[in-house]
């Protein structure tokens, strides 16, 4: 055989070897990539349970667990019954509710929040955002100029105001939490809408742990051991059944003396004296606009209230105003605060 023919055969053999190697690599790569990559709107298969040690990859790399990703399009309804279909996670956001602003930031969406209400003051980064007006009737021009993909609002904005904004072609999503469970569910819903499910689940787990801490601490209270409680969340105002602040009292093992009244009520001083609360809760970081006094000062100075057990025994307890009044991620911190105020010997 001529030398030239031998060289040709060697070249063909070499090319065939390379071709076979490429085919094998493609097959292996295809088999090893059967799950959809994160961020594509699929639930990525989690790593299997093992010995508790990190799975090892070549070159000393460690396997990183994959996270849940929202499947789009996503169809949901808000508290008004309006149906929304999200083709992707809204990118430019406005929140005109302090509770929802806190939730968005807690989910790691702070950079995507373009504007907030005049009352959104937590976290500190929210103070730097452009202001969109009040929580009841925001600035329509500011909202239109914001060019937001989604505007989020909460309990303070009533449905007619929401519909007015929608008539201007603004995309408004309203939540209306009445219980702690509602707050947890709204958090998970936001996790779905904004593709932040892992963050939402972690936050909800922390909030549930707070709630469990309280309910475990007071679960053995006998009916005669439960304290009568008045929560005066604003000067002259209290709360009754059907509202999340009432639930904070009952979850804490207390008996709300206004628990039979629906919604929010102005105080009737004779009723309060007759009910004789053993604990009076008030927001410690609130100053009355008219008198410039703290609320505990006002309570102690009321005529006839010196007969009330809570006043006689100095059981007027301050709790954080925002924790107890904002149905957002800090609501269960408010629950712990209230429970400590009612039963300091049980809730540490």
CATH number for the domain running over 74-201: 3.40.50.1980
pLDDT computed for residue 1 by the predictor:
43
Half-sphere CA count of 172, side-chain side, radius 13 A: 28
CB 102 within 8 A of CB 330: yes
What pLDDT score does 297 carry? 95
Residue 254: the pLDDT is 98
Q: What pLDDT was estimated at residue 66?
A: 52
Report CA 345 to chain centroid distance, whole Å.
29
Q: How far is CA 281 from the centre of its chain?
A: 24
Summarize pLDDT for 191-222 with one digit per residue, the tens. Answer: 999 999 999 999 999 999 999 999 999 999 99
Q: The pTM is what?
A: 0.80
Distance from the Cα of residue 71 to its chain's centroid: 21
Report residues of the chain scoring pLDDT below 70.
Answer: 1-67
Question: In sequence order, what are the beta bridge partners of 62?
Answer: 56
Q: Please give the pLDDT value at position 68.
A: 87
CATH 3.40.50.1980 residue ranges for the chain: 74-201, 223-342
Residue 171 pLDDT: 98
Half-sphere exposure of 196 (CA within 13 A, CB side): 25
Cα 79 to Cα 176: distance, rounded to the nearest angstrom: 6
Count of other CB atoms within 10 angstroms of residue 40: 10
List the CATH code of the domain at 223-342.
3.40.50.1980
pLDDT of res. 285: 83
Give pLDDT tens digits for 296-308: 999 999 999 999 9
């Amino acid at each position: 055989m001529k030398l030239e023919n031998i060289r040709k055969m060697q070249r063909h053999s070499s090319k065939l070897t390379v071709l076979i190697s490429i085919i094998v690599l493609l097959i292996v790569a295809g088999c090893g990539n059967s799950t959809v990559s994160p961020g594509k709107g699929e639930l990525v298969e989690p790593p299997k349970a093992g010995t508790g040690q990190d799975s090892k990859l070549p070159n000393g790399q460690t396997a990183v667990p994959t996270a849940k990703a929202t499947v789009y399009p996503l169809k949901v309804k808000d508290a008004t019954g309006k149906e929304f279909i999200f083709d992707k996670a809204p990118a430019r956001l406005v929140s005109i509710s302090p509770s929802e602003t806190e939730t968005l930031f807690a989910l790691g969406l702070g950079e995507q929040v373009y504007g907030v209400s005049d009352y959104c003051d937590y976290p500190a980064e929210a103070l730097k955002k452009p202001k969109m007006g009040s929580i009841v009737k925001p600035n329509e021009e500011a909202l239109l100029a914001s060019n937001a993909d989604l505007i989020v609002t909460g309990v303070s904005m009533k449905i007619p105001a929401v519909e007015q904004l929608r008539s201007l072609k603004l995309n408004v999503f309203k939540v209306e939490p009445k219980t702690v469970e509602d707050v947890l569910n709204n958090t998970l819903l936001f996790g779905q809408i904004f593709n932040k499910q892992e963050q939402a689940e972690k936050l909800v787990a922390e909030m549930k742990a707070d709630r469990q801490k309280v309910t475990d601490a007071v679960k053995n209270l006998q009916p005669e051991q439960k304290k009568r409680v008045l929560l005066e969340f604003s000067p002259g105002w209290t709360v009754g059944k059907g509202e999340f602040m009432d639930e904070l009292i009952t979850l804490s093992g207390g008996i709300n003396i206004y628990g039979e009244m629906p919604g929010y009520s102005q105080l009737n001083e004779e009723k309060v004296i007759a009910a004789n609360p053993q604990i009076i809760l008030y927001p410690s970081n609130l100053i009355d606009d008219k008198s410039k006094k703290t609320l505990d000062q006002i309570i102690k100075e009321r005529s006839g209230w010196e007969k009330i057990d809570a006043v006689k025994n100095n059981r007027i307890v301050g709790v954080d105003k925002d924790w107890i009044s904002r149905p957002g991620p800090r609501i269960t911190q408010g629950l712990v605060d209230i429970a400590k105020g009612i039963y300091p010997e049980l809730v540490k």
